[in-house]
Amino acid sequence: MNILEVRDLSFSYPDKSILHRLSFNVEKGDFVCVVGTNGTGKSTLLKLILNILQPTEGEIRLFDKRADKFRDYSKIAYVSQKATSFNRDFPATVEEIVSLGLYSAKGFLKPYSASDKEKVKAALERVGIYDYRKSRVGRLSGGQQQRVFIAKALVSSPEIIFLDEPTVGIDITAVDSICCLLGELNKSGITILMVTHDISSILYHSNKVLVLSEDGSGEIMPSEEFNSHTILNHVHHKH
């Protein structure tokens, strides 16, 4: 089953054309990495999928619904780029941030039930930060903060998680452990689409790579077929 279908997608900002006739599918159980040099439109693609931006041409379907008609928000979760740039004194605890993930499923201003508290606890345990639940999020390391955001994404039991460069600014051992965590979540049945530069750390866990080129086109391939030459080829095409 296709969870995501992108058909002939083109997108331009008022002054700049970004994506050009991009097509690919994401099936249930996939772990897709999105790679491409800076400015190729990776973050823009995620915003289009999430209907934060709308296509100039083409179509995006989530769970067989057009992205602009899709309302089943608890099925999807998004960890945005630089989600983790808290001031040390940011006045929220780990537990509070993760609880925010329930709003997509419940709507705002509904009181938490015992089962909601259970969901938050389960998400905190699943990413290995339960012991930090009362800590201020700004006091944690970058890798731990990223786990907080993954837990927040998990709390509504999504079928697919979109992540935008979740390993930026995190030290290398933490990068590997985040990648392993995402690999485990994927094995447990959650579909993942992740923008990343840490392709070497994640390639072992992913099954497909979507390469975006500077000319706005893109190509999806099995992870085994992907190698660093692919990016170089795409960059050279343009010149």
Ligand X SMILES: Nc1ncnc2c1ncn2[C@@H]1O[C@H](COP(=O)(O)OP(=O)(O)O)[C@@H](O)[C@H]1O
Tell me: does residue 216 bind ligand X (CB under 6 A): no
Neighbouring-strand partners of residue 163: 79, 194
Q: Is 222 in the site for ligand X (CB under 6 A)?
A: no
Tell me if 2 contacts ligand X by CB under 6 A.
no
- Among residues 49, 6, 46, 50, which one has the least CA distance to residue 26? 6
Strands 31-35 and 191-195, bridge-based pairing: parallel
* 166 in contact with ligand X (CB under 6 A): no
- Of 43 and 80, the one with the shorter C-beta distance to ligand X is 43
Nearest-approach distance from CB 2 to ligand X, in angstroms = 23
Q: Is 126 in the site for ligand X (CB under 6 A)?
A: no
Which candidate, 123, 161, 160, 167, places its Cα nearest to that of 145? 167
Shortest distance in whole angstroms from residue 13 CB to ligand X: 4
For the chain, the C-alpha Rg in angstroms (whole number) is: 18
* 157 near Mg ion, judged by CB under 5 A: no
Q: Interface with Mg ion includes 43 (CB under 5 A)?
A: yes
Helix or strand or coil: residue 59? strand
Instruction: Report the residue number, 42 or 234, with the smaller CB distance to ligand X.
Output: 42
Minimum CB distance to ligand X, residue 135 (Å) = 31
218 binds, among Mg ion, ligand X, none (CB under 5 to 8 A by kind): none
Cα 239 from Cα 229, distance rounded (Å): 16
196 binds ligand X, rule: CB under 6 A: no
At residue 86, what are phi and psi to the nearest 5 degrees? -80, 140
Distance (Å, whole) CA 163 – CA 33: 10
- 91 contact choice in ligand X, Mg ion, none (CB below 5 to 8 Å, kind-dependent): none
Please work out the total of residues on this chain that contact Mg ion, with binding judged by CB under 5 A.
Answer: 2
Alpha helices in the chain (DSSP H): 42-49, 94-100, 103-106, 114-126, 142-154, 172-187, 199-202, 228-237
Contact pick of 4, 24, 44, 208 for ligand X (by CB under 6 A): 44
Which of 33, 40, 55, 102 binds ligand X (CB under 6 A)? It is 40
Say whether residue 80 binds Mg ion (CB under 5 A).
no
Contacts of residue 175, defined as CB under 8 A and 6 or more positions apart, other chains included, come to 143, 167, 198, 201
21 conformational bin, left if phi > 0, alpha if psi -120 to 50, beta if neither? left
Which of 43, 56, 80, 157 touches ligand X (CB under 6 A)? 43
25 forms part of the interface with Mg ion (CB under 5 A): no
Binding-site ranges for ligand X (CB under 6 A) = 13, 16, 18, 36, 38-44
Binding-site ranges for Mg ion (CB under 5 A) = 42-43
